[in-house]
A = this chain, B = another copy of it.
């Protein structure tokens, strides 16, 4: 059975035709995300889907969005999409444009489901997926099913406290995992250090642009002291956050992905596992693995969630 999977991101819309019996992603169409509001975004998604499936062979479309999705397909907040300034019923808006059934899901949950069915989480009933990019997101599979939680926020491991009273978080809290492990948290701290007399390669490589995962990788490779300190904090934050959840849920598999992890690779995973904060009482038998699906996880997961709903 073929289902169209769409991954709506801050910079691009990706659509593919997915054979959900084997997880194989076929035809691929990519387009920049419009920045002039939700209606323009929905129009562009409709065009991309039509291009992936011109002969209307698929009657079902799954769409992963970077926001909180209500049961009725309403997407309230999409802070990563410029111009998305209000509640939008993405399901209705796309169904009327596409004349196909549309299922809308959170993009991080799509990634988790993709890894669980056809990636590094295959074969285990319970799995946590953690994606480390600009922020830190997570998705939780328990008993082979995606856990959504009371408000659809389950898996939001980026906002667990790892350093009580620590760095201020955009959500209003303090010392949350993503303030230490996310790219934006690392950037903020690197710039703060540079401004207070600790020049570092992270800032000088990025110059006035964003500090990207490749800048982190390069600064580490060149032995930059600040970069190494910030990486050690990121490792510790992930070890505490992931280790605690593995302990409390008695999980045997955690999959780690996202831009920062893809760049730093297995040595980064190995450092997390080696931390005493990770290998405690409950997480000592937990298997932490690199994500396998990378760029197609979003479209694959969106298609699977659509087919299973």
A173/B250 in contact, CB under 8 A: no
Main secondary structure of the interface of A (DSSP, over half): loop
* Most chain B C-beta atoms within 10 Å of own C-beta, residue among A147, A171, A244: A244
Binds B, one of A12-20, A84-92, A161-169, A294-302: A161-169
B250/A282 in contact, CB under 8 A: no
**What count of chain A residues pass the 8 Å CB interface test?**
46
Binds B, one of A53-61, A112-120, A148-156, A195-203: A148-156
Q: A149-194: which have CB < 8 Å to B?
A: 149-157, 159-164, 169, 171-174, 176
Q: Which of B157, B236, B248, B250 contacts A151, CB < 8 Å?
A: B250
With A126-B150, A150-B285 known as contacts, the answer to whether A160 contacts B276 (CB < 8 A) is no
Bound CA–CA A271/B261 (angstroms)? 38
A140/B285 in contact, CB under 8 A: no
A281/B164 in contact, CB under 8 A: no
With A147-B142, A252-B150 known as contacts, the answer to whether A160 contacts B247 (CB < 8 A) is yes
A277 in the interface (beta carbon within 8 A): yes
Give the shortest distance, in Å, between A287 (CB) and chain B (any CB). 10
- Taking CB atoms, residues of chain B closer than 8 Å to A140 are 248-249
With A247-B160, A248-B156, A248-B157 known as contacts, the answer to whether A281 contacts B147 (CB < 8 A) is no
- Taking CB atoms, residues of chain B closer than 8 Å to A111 are none
Name the residue of chain B whose CB is nearest to the CB of A279. B173
Q: Which of B143, B174, B252, B280 contacts A161, CB < 8 Å?
A: B280
